[in-house]
Amino acid sequence: MNNPPTVNGLPYLGIYKNIKKDILGYSLHLANTHGGLVRYKQFGKYGYQVSEPEYVKQVLQTNAKNYKKPAFDVSRLDQVFKGGLIGVDGDEWTRQRRIIQPQFARKALMGLIPTMISLSEDLAKKWEGKIGQTINVFEEMGEVLFSIITQTMLGISIGETQKDIAKACNTVNEESRNFNLLARLAGKHFPNLPNPANKTSDDAVSLLHSTVSSIISERKNSEPKNDLLQMLMDAKDEESGEGYNDLELRNQIITLMLAGYETSANALTWLWGLLDQYQQHQNDLVDELKHALGGRAAAEDDLKNLKLMKAAIEEGMRLYPSVHTFPRESVNNDIIGGFDILGGSRINIQPYITHRNPDYWPKPEVFNPHRFLGDQSKKIHKYAYIPFGGGPRLCIGYHFAIIEMSILMSVLLPRFELKLNGYTPIAAAHTTLTELNGMPMKLEARK
């Protein structure tokens, strides 16, 4: 066996304590010390940290069949994701993805832009009344992006239903942040134990199930609308001619809702912080917006002209990829970069680590959107930049996310400035990469 560089750590626990204390710092240390493929031990079992772009490519693309998505190890999340795109594998995944893929093509999403603009304008109006206050940027971004996903998807507007859904989604997301191993194992192996945490999460899941089911049945008896629900209801598998049944439709909608707002909210939260730390890039961005839009919100045709905006969003996600780590499980033995990989092992793909490899990203800690512009951008290794994953399971919401983030920033940036005022952001690696205190920043009108 030609094993990769290996870190055994403590007896039985292996590297668990180091990971629990600081997963990103420790993983970066492992990559810097041992390279782009490191074998580690945790709870008596070996796993692999894969960060070198060519190796990432093998796992996500060239030999993707050998690297399946592991079952959710978070106690009850499988109830939510099971049956939707994120939680299925093999032939079932292929069929589901084939049906949904055309609805998320860039062109198909253009009809959703007016809704995105109108909700961004609502936030701008709200911010006008908050000038001078210190705001929690993550909460503000989360709220508007949640409205965008629910309204573009289900056609429902801010009101009681949306509040209930938001609460249920937050409960589910909070559970996914629960890194208390014992609680997770108890929830998973003794699902029927009368435990308050189980009840809260079960109630949230049933609320999501019943609300979305009733929206679907209402829609079936009413006029078609211009939203994603309609697109998914009308979608047909090109091979079989069949669409989703009601249960699949419900699971898909919930999956998209949960996957689609916290990630973008984190990305924009970090971007606001970075723009205040790099004033010149912020000024250039505002100039680009003023020049291209002259005070109005970006419409479909403008997006291609907002090159610096897209580059700034991309560079923000290079430094702070919302999905900082995602797992695979090797099916059979494989060889990566000349090293043996055992079948049945956990593989960690870590955008946060890959995005800091100095061989691909000179001065990796510096925020420089120009990396994503012109000739420089053409030289980027496809698997050195993986905030949306890669290969067949590339994020389905990639275009949706880029469009909604560009629209929102194009409305807010020319009018407002957010200031850290001496606050130093702290990265917290929960399920998504979030700012520990929600990025408190002072809201000012742009002069």
Q: Which residue number is nearest to ligand HEM in terms of Cβ? A: 397
Residue 30 or 267 with smaller CB distance to ligand HEM: 267
Is 249 within 8 Å of 142 (Cβ atoms)? no
Task: For residues 283 and 269, give the distance between their C-alpha atoms in angstroms, rounded to a whole number.
Answer: 18
Residue 274 or 396 with smaller CB distance to ligand HEM: 396
Closest CB 17 distance from ligand HEM, rounded Å: 26
Task: For residues 343 and 330, give the distance between their C-alpha atoms in angstroms, rounded to a whole number.
Answer: 5
Is 14 within 8 Å of 21 (Cβ atoms)? no
Report DSSP state, residue 321. -
Closest CB 255 distance from ligand HEM, rounded Å: 5
Closest CB 198 distance from ligand HEM, rounded Å: 26
Binding site for ligand HEM (CB under 6 A): 69, 85-86, 97, 255-256, 259-260, 263-264, 267, 322-323, 326, 387-389, 393, 395-397, 400-401
Closest CB 133 distance from ligand HEM, rounded Å: 26
Residue 238 or 340 with smaller CB distance to ligand HEM: 238
Task: Dump the DSSP string for 361-407.
Answer: SSSTTS--GGGGSHHHHHTS-TTT--TT--GGG--TTHHHHHHHHHH
Is 343 within 8 Å of 68 (Cβ atoms)? no
Token output for 378: 């053409």
Closest CB 2 distance from ligand HEM, rounded Å: 27
Closest CB 322 distance from ligand HEM, rounded Å: 4
Residue 263 or 282 with smaller CB distance to ligand HEM: 263
Residue 401 or 441 with smaller CB distance to ligand HEM: 401
Residue 97 or 307 with smaller CB distance to ligand HEM: 97
Angle between helices 398-412 and 113-128 (to 10 degrees): 40
Residue 339 or 400 with smaller CB distance to ligand HEM: 400
Closest CB 228 distance from ligand HEM, rounded Å: 8
Nearest Cα to Cα of residue 259 among 381, 384, 396 = 396
Closest CB 78 distance from ligand HEM, rounded Å: 15
Residue 127 or 326 with smaller CB distance to ligand HEM: 326
User: Which strands form 416-419's sheet, in the order they lie side by side?
Assistant: 134-136, 440-445, 416-419
What type of residue is 53?
P
Task: Dump the DSSP string for 3-60.
Answer: PPPEE--BTTTBTHHHHHHHHHHHHHHHHHHH-SEEEEEETTEEEEEE-SHHHHHIII
